[in-house]
Amino acid sequence: FCIKTLTLLPSDLSPQWSLVCKSASEVHIAKFALVVGSSFGYLVFGILADWFGRHPMLITSVLFMLAFGLSVAFSINVPMFSILRFFEGFSLAGIVLSLYLLRFEICLPEWRFFVNMVACFLMLGGQLLMPVVAYLCRDWQILQVVIICPLVLMLSYIWVFPESLRWLLATQQYYRSNRIMEHIVKKNKGNRALLGSEHGNMTLQKDLSSRCCLIKPKKKCIMTMVGTRNLWKNIVVLCLNSLTGFGIHHCFVRSLMDPEGHKTVMFDNFYVEFYTKAVITVASCLALCPAVGLMGRRGGLLMFMIFTALASLLQLGLLNYVLNKNLSLTFSIIGMFSSYAVSILSIFICAEIAPTVIRGGGLGLVLASAGFGMLTGPIMDLHNQKGYFLHHIIFACCTLICIICILLLPETRRHPLPETLADWERYNCQTLLRPRKSVLKCPPPPPLPSPAL
């Protein structure tokens, strides 16, 4: 059946265009464009964040999001709508990545996971509000404007949040970091003379500041990890985990539908279906907290990946869907629960593993892999759910490979973040049952050059 046609403007101002009935397939193209834009955005902004900093990329992404997001509401046809959605996803990826980096690099080791989970719950809370906001707005153009306009408040981050001090120090930008620290001391009404006495006196502090200006920043690109011994292997493993987690997640969601893939078996109401999936996602995040607390990052990731593999293989073994409908639904819910936990935890571990100098690029690779896993949904929708069984088999095989590869990852709980590539190579891959307590010892900072005469 056909639902109400989506129109941009009244008929006397602009021709109508729709995304329903004969044009319903173009909805999947718009979804495809959004996810592809996000994937490329993670890659591009990740590299730029390592080169220009986290703070400039955040502000740039917000400006792009305001421009392209508002432009979507004034699309005059479907191709324009899809193209603008691509750039909207591209900009949104920059915001997500930059905020993740800034949030991660400001936390102490024992607070990293807690702060990340709080941010995850806030993100899920925003998604839970979407149906309510959509119901109140009624028109999709108004909904688009209502969603985008609050981003104007994020422009205040120009003055509220400084650049990441961890990244500045890791790339040897001592002059900029010194200015930020002095600003923090002044803002906190600290005793600047006392701060200077730690170096002897204020004269010595100014001398050090002048020497810092002579040091050339040492910035790195993500491609430098190719020459490392272990880092590139760990990044590849985490990319495979995030790709598999989000990819097989849609396979489990598809299993909730009838054999033709037209409607869900459990519910006929859209809102009940949406909030049921949201409850599963929230429960997955809640289960992550005690699991990671008891077993660590690697142990928790391994456990949820095993659950995902078992749910997938057992569901594929139920060839007669009609006779085993209840079991299939049970395995689908378990698979959705565990696969989402795998994806979230893989991204978090990557942020802990990647050194500060290339953390943006490493995190961008894993997030982009997650985005390509999300493409499973639009691709199968474009093919009218054909090839679903083959996709499920491929991702089920990937889960078995991931279980083996997870054992190659190190345990990062309570460890300081590595700053340089050399720091990361000091990590040892401990056994899973009897982890050895190791401390990452950072090398001393390079000597300051003598001031030019």
Looking up residue 365, the CATH number of its domain turns out to be 1.20.1250.20
Is 234 found in the same domain as 215?
A: no
192 within some domain:
no
**Is residue 251 one of the residues assigned to a domain?**
yes
pLDDT of residue 199: 47
Q: Is 277 a domain residue? A: yes
Same domain, 177 and 228: no
Ordered alpha helix ranges (H), 106-190? 112-137, 140-148, 157-160, 165-170, 174-187
282 in the same domain as 358: yes
Same-domain pairing of 67 and 153: yes
As a whole number, mean pLDDT of residues 171-199 equals 70
Give pLDDT, residue 98. 94
H or E element in which residue 1 lies: none
Percent of the chain at pLDDT > 70 equals 77
* Same domain, residue pair 47 and 144: yes
pLDDT of residue 362 exceeding 50? yes
175 pLDDT more than 70: yes
Span 227-250, pLDDT tens digits: 888 888 899 999 999 999 999 988
Assigned domain for 355 exists: yes
* Same domain as 354, residue 245: yes
Whether residues 175 and 96 fall in one domain: no
Question: What is the helix (H) or strand (E) element at residue 366, kind and residue range?
Answer: helix 359-374
Least confident of 3-17, 168-182, 344-358: 3-17
- Reported as a pLDDT band with limits 50, 70 and 90, residue 264 is low
| 301 CB neighbour count, 10 Å cutoff | 29
Structural domain count of the chain: 3
Residue 7 located in a structural domain: no
Please list, in sequence order, all residues whose beta carbon lies within 8 angstroms of the beta carbon of residue 322, skipping any fewer than 6 positions away.
none
Domain shared by 173 and 226, yes or no: no
> Does residue 259 share a domain with residue 213?
no
Q: Which of the four pLDDT bands, split at 50, 70 and 90, describes residue 379?
A: confident
User: For residue 387, what pLDDT is reported?
Assistant: 64
User: Mean pLDDT across the stretch 128-141?
Assistant: 87
pLDDT classification of 37: cutoffs 50, 70, 90: very high
The average pLDDT across 259-278 equals 67
Do 54 and 91 belong together in one domain? yes
Q: Is 447 domain-assigned?
A: no
Comparing 108 with 192, the larger pLDDT belongs to 108
Span 431-438, average pLDDT:
49
| pLDDT top residue among 256 and 84 | 84
Q: Is position 299 within any domain?
A: yes
Region 168-180: mean pLDDT is 84
Within a domain: 261 = yes
Judged against a pLDDT cut of 70, whether residue 82 lies above it is answered with yes
| Tokens of residue 269, six digits | 């109401």
User: Are 320 and 409 within one domain?
Assistant: yes
Residue from 105, 89, 120 nearest 355 by CA: 105
Give the residue carrying structure tokens 């272990």.
Answer: 230
- Say whether pLDDT at 207 is over 70: no
Range of the structural domain that residue 132 is part of: 20-161
Do residues 94 and 177 share a domain? no
